Chain A
Amino acid sequence: MNYFQSIYSKFQQRNPILSYTITRSIKFISWIPLIYLFSEHFAYIGIIDGISMKPTFNPDNSISKDRVLLWKFNIRNNLKINDIVFIKSPINPNQIHTKRIKGLQLNSIIPRYPETRSKILIPLNHIWVEGDNIHSIDSNTYGPLSNGMVVAKAVWIIWPLNRFGPIPANGGRECREDKLRYNGSNNNQLNNDD
C-alpha cells in the first residue's frame, strides 16, 4: 500500500493539474450510478409527446411539450382508477406511452367499439388503459395490459408553468359496466365520445 501511495504522491508533485482533474472526474463518475438508481426506481421527469392525452396534456398545438413529475417507487400494487401511467407499448416494447387507467382487475369493461366484443372481463393483475383523446391507440386496440408493463405514475405537471400543479383527476370516458349501469345512461355515455 505504501508503494502505491508513494507513486501517487510523486505523480501528484510532478503534474498537479492532471492529478486534480483525474480525482475530480473519478469522484463525479462515482455518483452516476446513484443518479441512475434514483431515476429508475424513485422519481424522474417525463416528457409527453403527441395528441393522445389532448385535453389533459398538450392542450394546444404549440411547440412546447408538457413535462411531468413521475413517481416510480412501489406503484404496481397501488394503481387506482383515473391514475395517469407511463406504460411500455405492447406493440413496440421500446416505446413508452402515456395513458389513463380506466379499469382495474376483475372489472367488466365495455370497449369503445362494442360491435367487436360487447364486454371484457379484465384478468388478475391487469389494467385497462385509455387515452383522454379519442384518437389514441390504447386498450381498445390491444386489450387489457399486465401491471408489469407500468413504468411510472405521473403526479405533477411541471412545465408549462401556467398549468403548474396537480394533474386533473378526470378525463376520458367511463367504461366500467357497473358504473354505466348505475348512471342509467349506458347508451348516452357511449355515444358521447363517438
Chain B
Amino acid sequence: MTIIKDVRRILSISVRSIAAVHLFTSSCFELSQTEGASMLPTIQTSGDFCIIDKSFKNGNKIKIGDLIVARKPTQPDSWVCKRITGMPGDIILLDPSRDNINELHKRYNENKNDINNDINEIDIPNLNKIGKFNRDPYDMYIIVPDGHVWVTGDNLSDSVDSRTYSVLPMGLIGGKIIIGIYAPNLLKFNGNYYRFLNNTFEDYI
C-alpha cells in the first residue's frame, strides 16, 4: 500500500509542478528558440534563443519598433517574430522595398504638406492614384485600423510579413522579445552570449 501512496504523491507533485511552470511561461517569461532569416541583422538564422515577456500579450502597452512574437494569421499554429512598423492610425506604404530611395524622397517632398497635416485631412484614395489611374497594388498607402498593427521583418528581402498577409490583429500577439541569447557563444564561455534587443525606433519618436 505504501508504494501506491508514494506513486500517487509523486504523480500529484509532478503534475502540480508542470502546471506551475506552465503558468509561469504563459503569463511571465518564456525562453524559446528562433529560426529563419527574416530578422537577420538582429536575430541569427540558427542557434539563437530569446526571452519573451508575456505581459505584452494581446498588444498591451506595445510601441512602434518593438520586437514581438505572434501567431501567423494564415497559419495560426506557427509563431513568427517580427518588428512593429505601424500602429493603429498610421499611414503605411505597402512595400517600400519595391521602390528606390530617390523615388521615395521625391514622393515624400511632393506630399510633405499632406503628411504634416491631420490624418483625417489626408485623402488616401487620392494618394493611391497617379493622375487618373490607381498605383501598382504594392505601391499603395493604407491606414492601419484600430486593434491592428503593421509588422515587417528586419530582412525585407527574405521575410513573409504584413506585406503578404496585411495587418496583424493584436489578439495574435503573444509577447515582446527582450533578451536574445546566442547559444554557440554560451558554450565558449568567453563570448558575449546575451544581448538586450532594444527598440531601434526610439531615436526617431
**Residues of chain B with a CB closer than 8 A to A82's CB:** none
Q: Which of B58, B76, B173 is the one whose CB lies under 8 Å from A147?
A: B76
Interface residues of B in 41-82 (CB under 8 A from A): 58-60, 71-77
Q: Closest B-chain residue to A38, C-beta based?
A: B19
Q: Are the CB atoms of B22 and A33 closer together than 8 Å?
A: yes
Q: A89: which B residues are within 8 A, CB to CB?
A: 147, 171
Q: CB distance A93 to B171 under 8 Å?
A: yes
Residues 88-101 of chain A: 1 if any B CB is under 8 Å from the residue's CB, otherwise 0?
Answer: 11111110000000
Using Cβ atoms and an 8 Å threshold, which residues of chain B touch A93? 58-59, 147, 169-171, 173
CB of B23 within 8 A of chain A? Answer: yes
**A32-56, CB < 8 A from B:** 32-34, 36-37, 40
A145: nearest chain-B partner, CB-CB: B169
For chain B, residues 140 to 183, give those with C-beta under 8 angstroms from any C-beta of chain A: 145-148, 165, 169-173
- Number of residues on chain B facing chain A (CB within 8 A): 27
User: Are A31 and B16 neighbours in the complex by a CB distance under 8 Å?
Assistant: yes
Contact (Cβ within 8 A) B73 A126? yes
CB distance from B175 to the nearest CB of A (A): 13
Q: Which residue of A lies closest to B22 (CB)?
A: A37
A90 to B146, CA, bound (A): 8
Residues in B whose Cβ lies below 8 Å from that of A126: 73-74
Q: Mark A69-93, 1 if CB is under 8 A from B, else 0.
A: 0000000110000000000111111
From A31, A77, A90, A148, name the one whose CB has the most chain B CB atoms within 10 angstroms. A148
CB pair A149 B171 closer than 8 Å: yes
- The number of chain A residues with a CB under 8 A from chain B is 27
Kindly provide the distance from the CB of A183 to the nearest chain B CB, expressed in whole angstroms: 31
Does the CB pair A33–B16 fall under 8 Å? yes
In the assembled complex, the Cα of A22 lies from the Cα of B71 at a distance in Å of 42
The reply to whether B19 and A125 form a contact with Cβ atoms under 8 Å apart is no
Q: Is B10 an interface residue (CB 8 A)?
A: no
Query: Are A148 and B73 CB-contacts (below 8 A) given A88-B58, A93-B58?
Result: yes
A116 within 8 A of B: no
Would you call A118 an interface residue if the criterion is a C-beta within 8 Å of the partner chain's C-beta atoms?
no
Check if A146 is an interface residue, CB within 8 A of chain B.
yes
Contacts of B16 in A (CB 8 A): 30-31, 33-34
B:74-105 near A, CB below 8 Å: 74-77
Within 8 Å of chain B (Cβ to Cβ): is A171? no
Query: Measured between alpha carbons, how far is A37 from B26 in the docked complex, in Å?
Result: 10
0 or 1 for each of B185-199: is its CB under 8 Å from A? (1 = yes) = 000000000000000
Bound Cα distance A146, B145 (Å)? 16
Assuming the contacts A90-B147, A124-B74, A125-B73, asked whether A33 and B20 have C-beta atoms less than 8 A apart, the reply is yes
| Cβ contact of B76, chosen from A40, A92, A146, cutoff 8 A | A146
Closest 7 CB pairs of A and B: A148-B76, A88-B171, A33-B19, A93-B171, A148-B71, A146-B73, A34-B19
> Interface of B with A (CB < 8 Å)?
15-16, 19-20, 22-23, 26, 58-60, 71-77, 145-148, 165, 169-173
26 cross-chain CB contacts under 8 A: A30-B16, A30-B20, A32-B23, A33-B23, A76-B76, A88-B169, A88-B171, A90-B148, A91-B145, A92-B146, A93-B58, A93-B147, A93-B169, A93-B171, A94-B58, A94-B60, A125-B75, A125-B76, A146-B71, A146-B74, A146-B169, A146-B172, A148-B73, A148-B171, A149-B169, A149-B172
Given A30-B20, A148-B171, 10 more A-B residue pairs with CB atoms under 8 Å apart are: A31-B16, A36-B23, A40-B26, A92-B146, A123-B74, A125-B75, A125-B76, A126-B74, A145-B169, A148-B76
